[in-house]
Amino acid sequence: MRILAMADIHGEFDVYDRLPSLVARPRAEAVVLAGDLLGAFGESPTTEEAQTANAREISERLSPLRVQVLYVMGNDDFVELEPGSERIQPLHGRRVEMGPYNFVGYEYSPPFMCGVFEEPEEEIAADIARLEPLMDRQTILVTHSPAEGILDRGFFNRSAGSPSILAAVKRRSVLAHIHGHIHACFGREGRHFNVAVARQRRAMVMELPVLDHSVITRGQGS
């Protein structure tokens, strides 16, 4: 199974407009969006109102896709994305079966910028404990936050990942962990994939179950 994964798009319409061609080129069978999906543009008086308008336009751009889209929100998102199609599904707190694989999602991150999708680590630990029974060796875990110590070095080279996510990945031996959040750490380490688009307009294509991966960069798939 081949999936296209991205995170940290931050509402950039040109990235969403490219998705149909990005999906078609590697013949991806599903799209995974791992948080920080929205931006705050225009003249709306509040971030929430600006992101609500942005989310509406993003939903319209996602609707024509003919493959399953699974998403979680991120710490820079202040409202929920409202799916405009049955093929577009929120993944937070759920398990979605797809062929022999399953996807489990979690969207909260450790405190970073006082966002609505941030929680103290002790609350994340409790949430993850409730999710763990949904995970197994065929699980692709989708979070916004990285696991502690893996592709998670942010400002001042400090670790920004969650120890609870790291522990769950190890205990449940999940097939893969897809996340974003730390733009500078795009890439792969073992079964962990940081798919932060940032301003690079990039995406990662992953082949399950072997976890071969490739990167589509700006100018490709357009």
pLDDT at 219 exceeding the cut of 70: no
Q: In the structure, how many helices (H) and strands (E) does the chain have?
A: 4, 12
The label of the residue with tokens 């592709």 reads 151
Model confidence, pTM: 0.95
| Distance from C-alpha of 45 to C-alpha of 141, rounded to nearest angstrom | 36
Domains of the chain: residue spans and CATH:
2-216 (3.60.21.10)
Residue 133 per-residue DSSP state: G
Sequence-distant (6+) residues with CB within 8 A of 77 are 35, 36, 37, 38, 51, 115, 116, 117
In this prediction, residues 185-213 reach a mean pLDDT of 95
Tallying the residues shown for the chain, one arrives at 222
Predicted confidence (pLDDT) per residue in 107-150, tens digit: 999 998 778 999 999 999 999 999 999 999 999 999 999 999 99
Instruction: Give the pLDDT confidence score for residue 200 in this predicted structure.
Output: 83
3-state SS, residue 142: strand
Tell me the C-alpha to C-alpha distance, in Å, between residue 82 and each of 53, 54, 58, 73. 11, 11, 9, 11
pLDDT single digits (tens) 74-119: 999 999 998 878 899 999 999 999 999 999 999 999 998 778 999 9
Percent with pLDDT over 70 in the chain: 98
Please determine, for residue 41, whether its predicted confidence score (pLDDT) is greater than 90. Answer: no
Cα 112 to Cα 115, 159, 208: the distances in Å are: 7, 11, 32
| Residue 79 DSSP code | S
Q: What CA–CA distance (Å, rounded) separates 199 from 221?
A: 16
